[in-house]
Amino acid sequence: MKTLKNWTLLKSDAHHVELSVDGKHRLCLYVLEQGMFRILIKRENKLALNRTWSIAPQNDVPWEGRARESLEGFTLPAFAVEETDDTLRISTDKLRVTVHQPLWLEWEYKKDGAGWQLLASDRPTSAYLLNAHGDGVAHYQRRYKEESYYGLGEKAGPLARTGRRYEMRNLDAMGYNAESTDPLYKHIPFTITKRPDVSFGMFYDNLSSCWLDLGNEIDNYHLPYRRWQAESGDVDYYLFLGPKVLDVTKAFVRLTGKTLFGPKWSLGYSGSTMRYTDAPDAQRQLLSFIRLCNEHAIPCDSFQLSSGYTSINDKRYVFNWNYDKVPQPKAMSQAFHEAGIKLAANIKPCLLQDHPRYSEVAERGLFIKDSEQDGPERSSFWDDEGSHLDFTNPETVKWWQNGVTTQLLEMGIDSTWNDNNEFEVWDGEARCHGFGEEIAIKHIRPVMPLLMMRASLEAQQTFAPEKRPYLISRSGCAGMQRYVQTWSGDNRTNWNTLRYNIRMGVGMSLSGLYNVGHDVGGFSGDKPDAELFVRWVQNGVMHPRFTIHSWNDDQTVNEPWMYPAITPAIRSAIETRYRLLPYFYTLLWQAHADDEPMLRPTFLDHEHDAKTFEECDDFMLGRDLLVASVVEPGSREREVWLPANGEGWYDYYTGQWYSGGQSIVLDAPLERLPLLVRAGAALPHSARITHVDAKADDVRELKIYPLRGTGVSTGSLFEDDGESWGYRQGNALWLDWEICCNAQEIHIKFNRTGDYLSAWKELKLTLPARETRRLVVEGTAQESWML
């Protein structure tokens, strides 16, 4: 690659500065917000890809993509430009960048009372590189000892990415090692840099395969550096100020789009296994699942039909029902619905070469095209070869939506499970329609699953416009949170996966994917033993997505009742999930409305406590619930660090209070997941331990965990009918409370907005068993509050 060196200022206008580099390239520096700048380099003043699908600061992007140079949705504040003989400085009130000669950038932020402070810096020696004879771009930055790195979405290993190298190349990583396998399923080249006094984010809006080295590589000729390198496309990155890690994550979500607000039932237990639909009597086995849930008193809200329902022999054919296995799809769907269970069906974007409709789709030109021949590209898929659908072709989108509607939704299926959508098309020059402007697949591979899930979502919305859609997708890129819930793919059954999936989920959440979970119990490998299964379920119920899913090598099925001796412990964990559904649902609303992460590392709300930055197996569910999953066999105690929050923590089960800033050891019998609640919090609970039904959910309890001394704390609850768009017109309940504590009394005051009338009319208030102060509700001593 060739280093970019000498620059001259060409122009400066109200929103950007443009430089000529080496007499033929262009560097555009956009001032988007007070604390957000963007750098775009155009090779020979041309863009390799003139649009993006990830950047959505205001509304969703058009199907054909957002113009890459669009500034829509940003505030575009005023900025100052200062030029000297060999530097150019661009400044807002919060952030400034100095462009040095030869080309490298130095970033500073304004700290209250301390003036301008170093934030980040390019490597002074060879910062920006372009391949002089084709594709390939790279960007090198300085790496400082005091920096730690987070983000990158779904990655194996530690939560802190410092000192490691990663690759973004979407793969179907069946049975991956959660500690070490790389790459995986998703493409999110976004990093959070944590410095002692400030944090900042960087997002490379480049959709080609790329590498990020965060301290693994060293070179004697350069100061310590970090590197981003892509196989093709443009250097186009956004740098934005925190100052805290939470601020960076929320800014990234605002940049790439709001989290989908799905129906409440999507937070219930979702059953699944490949074994049922692979069986010759699939319909009978699926209906047996309903009976077994009832027999074992396991609440369930949805079931995911794996792809075996589409099979011909051992292969999978999207939109094809195997009527030998499932002779009556509509009757089967009705049976699930009568049990209160929704159905999601697996669909795949690649048609095998012997698919019954392959020739029809090929003749209509709906596949990605071969780079050299006039016909569909062919890639390996499910032990054969097939061709991938081209979702940049509007006719493909119509074909797909027709299949979703006629073969799924009209059969009684409620949701789409968009799977195997990594688009492993390794002919980088394979041609995509590009909505009329042809694009090589190497530039937009991760966009294909994004458009696939969008096509599915719009089909569901058209079919049932009064209901909020729910979808699942395994693969994708930044922005996929606008459409789907996701999970960490086909994990492998062992204790190490349980431990590192926790980090993987929190890493996705830090990277803007809030609605996440894992295949509980492990997808591949032999079945989990009883102890591992209990601990995995206990951990899984504390994630936004809770699904037990498997394709065990030993032909077994992971089911809640698979070990009779521990079924009561499994039931207890799932019941805890259902009791906490009002809390989960409020978190989902806050994720959508306020860009608040649902899963949170303990440091996210406690940056002042250095201990919280150490690698651990703990995480927060919202701001209030500390989850201390047991991830080691034989453990019946759990050591946990209580973040120094100045208020302390309560044991969720016993009400015992502990001060923060210390390590404690909790009992962790096999039947119990250690949980702690932030002092000052109040957790809403339901008494309904069965499938979600807003009209029947008529009991609500608010468990209050008051401050031990004096002080004020606040909280909120969101309620609605669980599936409509009524909240947009105010048909929801927003209940806020303020808890004022002193030495003798605990005062709580409520404020409600919205016109939704819930099935529960009285809110029962409870205090920890050891609490002796009097509870005063809006001026009266009582133990409940009337809605």
Tens-digit pLDDT profile for residues 712-765: 999 999 999 999 999 999 999 999 999 999 999 999 999 999 999 999 999 999
- Spatial separation of the C-alpha atoms in residues 686 and 773, rounded to whole Å: 25
- Spatial separation of the C-alpha atoms in residues 499 and 544, rounded to whole Å: 17
Q: What is the mean pLDDT of residues 35-47?
A: 97
Contact 705, 678 (CB under 8 A): yes
> Residue 141's closest CA among 155, 121, 112, 160?
121
Q: Is pLDDT of 134 > 80?
A: no
| pLDDT band per the 50, 70, 90 thresholds, residue 607 | very high
Contact 19, 26 (CB under 8 A): yes
Angle of the 530-540 helix axis to the 567-579 helix axis, nearest 10: 0
User: Which residue intervals of 355-436 are DSSP H helices?
Assistant: 358-363, 394-407
Same domain, 462 and 593: no
Tens digits of residue pLDDT in 293-329: 999 999 999 999 999 999 999 899 999 999 999 999 9
CATH of the domain at 608: 2.60.40.1180
Total domains in the fold of the chain = 3
> Residue 597's closest CA among 622, 625, 618?
622
Q: Is pLDDT of 495 > 90?
A: yes
- Spatial separation of the C-alpha atoms in residues 609 and 645, rounded to whole Å: 8
The values of phi and psi at residue 612, to 5°, are -70, -15
Contact 156, 183 (CB under 8 A): no
Q: Would 766 be classed as within a structural domain?
A: yes
Q: Is pLDDT of 274 > 80?
A: yes
Could you tell me what percent of the chain has a pLDDT over 90?
96
Tens digits of residue pLDDT in 507-521: 999 999 999 999 999
Token pair, residue 23, equals: 């007499």
Could you tell me what percent of the chain has a pLDDT over 70?
100
Q: Is the bond leading into 183 cis (omega within 30 degrees of zero)?
A: yes
Q: Would 717 be classed as within a structural domain?
A: yes
DSSP 552: -
pTM: 0.98
Q: What is the mean pLDDT of residues 650-664?
A: 98
Same domain, 235 and 354: no
| pLDDT band per the 50, 70, 90 thresholds, residue 617 | very high
Q: Would 508 be classed as within a structural domain?
A: no
Q: Would 285 be classed as within a structural domain?
A: yes
| pLDDT at residue number 551 | 93
| Residue at a domain's end among 463, 487, 511 | 487
| pLDDT band per the 50, 70, 90 thresholds, residue 244 | very high
Q: How far is C-alpha 188 from the geometric centre of its chain's CA atoms?
A: 10
Q: Are strands 270-273 and 302-305 parallel, antiparallel or unpaired?
A: parallel
Longest dimension (CA), the chain: 82
Q: How far is C-alpha 462 from the geometric centre of its chain's CA atoms?
A: 25
Same domain, 662 and 747: yes
Q: Is pLDDT of 562 > 90?
A: yes
> Residue 619's closest CA among 484, 498, 705?
498
Same domain, 735 and 776: yes
| pLDDT at residue number 782 | 82
- Spatial separation of the C-alpha atoms in residues 25 and 5, rounded to whole Å: 11
CATH of the domain at 94: 2.60.40.1760
Same domain, 202 and 272: no
| pLDDT at residue number 699 | 97
Same domain, 247 and 296: no
| Residue at a domain's end among 215, 237, 256 | 256
Rounded to whole angstroms, what are the CA distances from 752 to 13, 103, 138, 240, 590? 48, 56, 53, 36, 16
Q: Is pLDDT of 114 > 90?
A: no
Q: What is the mean pLDDT of residues 107-136?
A: 93
| pLDDT at residue number 781 | 79
**In 502-601, at which residue ranges do the beta strands (DSSP E only) sit?**
516-520, 545-548, 599-600
Same domain, 268 and 404: yes
Q: Would 530 be classed as within a structural domain?
A: no
Same domain, 202 and 332: no
Helix (H, G, I), strand (E, B) or coil at 553: coil
Q: Are strands 415-418 and 471-473 parallel, antiparallel or unpaired?
A: parallel
Say how many Å lie between the first and final Cα of the chain, rounded.
Answer: 67
- Spatial separation of the C-alpha atoms in residues 685 and 584, rounded to whole Å: 10
Q: Is pLDDT of 767 > 80?
A: yes
Sign, Cα dihedral of 320, 322, 326, 327? positive
- Spatial separation of the C-alpha atoms in residues 3 and 139, rounded to whole Å: 10
Same domain, 317 and 431: yes
Contact 343, 277 (CB under 8 A): no
Q: Are strands 415-418 and 342-347 parallel, antiparallel or unpaired?
A: parallel
Token pair, residue 585, equals: 């649902």
Domain range for 344: 261-487
**Side by side, which strands form the sheet with 774-777?**
711-719, 733-741, 745-753, 774-777, 780-781
- Spatial separation of the C-alpha atoms in residues 427 and 665, rounded to whole Å: 54
Q: Is pLDDT of 779 > 80?
A: no
**In 152-301, at which residue ranges do the beta strands (DSSP E only) sit?**
165-168, 186-187, 190-194, 199-204, 210-213, 225-230, 235-241, 270-273
Same domain, 270 and 248: no
- Spatial separation of the C-alpha atoms in residues 276 and 548, rounded to whole Å: 13
Q: What is the mean pLDDT of residues 580-590?
A: 98
Tens digits of residue pLDDT in 164-222: 999 999 999 999 999 999 999 999 999 999 999 999 999 999 999 999 999 999 999 99
> Residue 129's closest CA among 120, 140, 115?
140
Q: What is the mean pLDDT of residues 478-506?
A: 98
Q: Which residues contact 331 (CB under 8 A, 6 or more apart)?
A: none
Q: Would 515 be classed as within a structural domain?
A: no
- Spatial separation of the C-alpha atoms in residues 294 and 773, rounded to whole Å: 42
Q: Would 563 be classed as within a structural domain?
A: no
Which one has a higher pLDDT value, 339 or 555?
339
| pLDDT band per the 50, 70, 90 thresholds, residue 786 | confident
> Cβ of 328: how many Cβ atoms within 10 Å?
12
Q: Is pLDDT of 669 > 80?
A: yes
Contact 546, 270 (CB under 8 A): yes
Q: How far is C-alpha 313 from the geometric centre of its chain's CA atoms?
A: 35
The residue type found at 93 is: D
| pLDDT at residue number 453 | 98
| Residue at a domain's end among 427, 457, 487 | 487
Write the Ramachandran bin of 694: left for phi over 0, alpha for psi from -120 to 50, otherwise beta: alpha
CA–CA–CA angle 131, 448, 213 (5° rounding): 40
Characterize 59-72 residue by residue with b for buried, 16 or more Cβ atoms within 10 angstroms of its Cβ, and e for exposed: eebeeebbebeebe
Q: Would 569 be classed as within a structural domain?
A: no
Token pair, residue 763, equals: 């809110």
| pLDDT at residue number 483 | 98
| pLDDT at residue number 587 | 98
Same domain, 245 and 268: no
- Spatial separation of the C-alpha atoms in residues 191 and 248, rounded to whole Å: 9
Same domain, 617 and 471: no
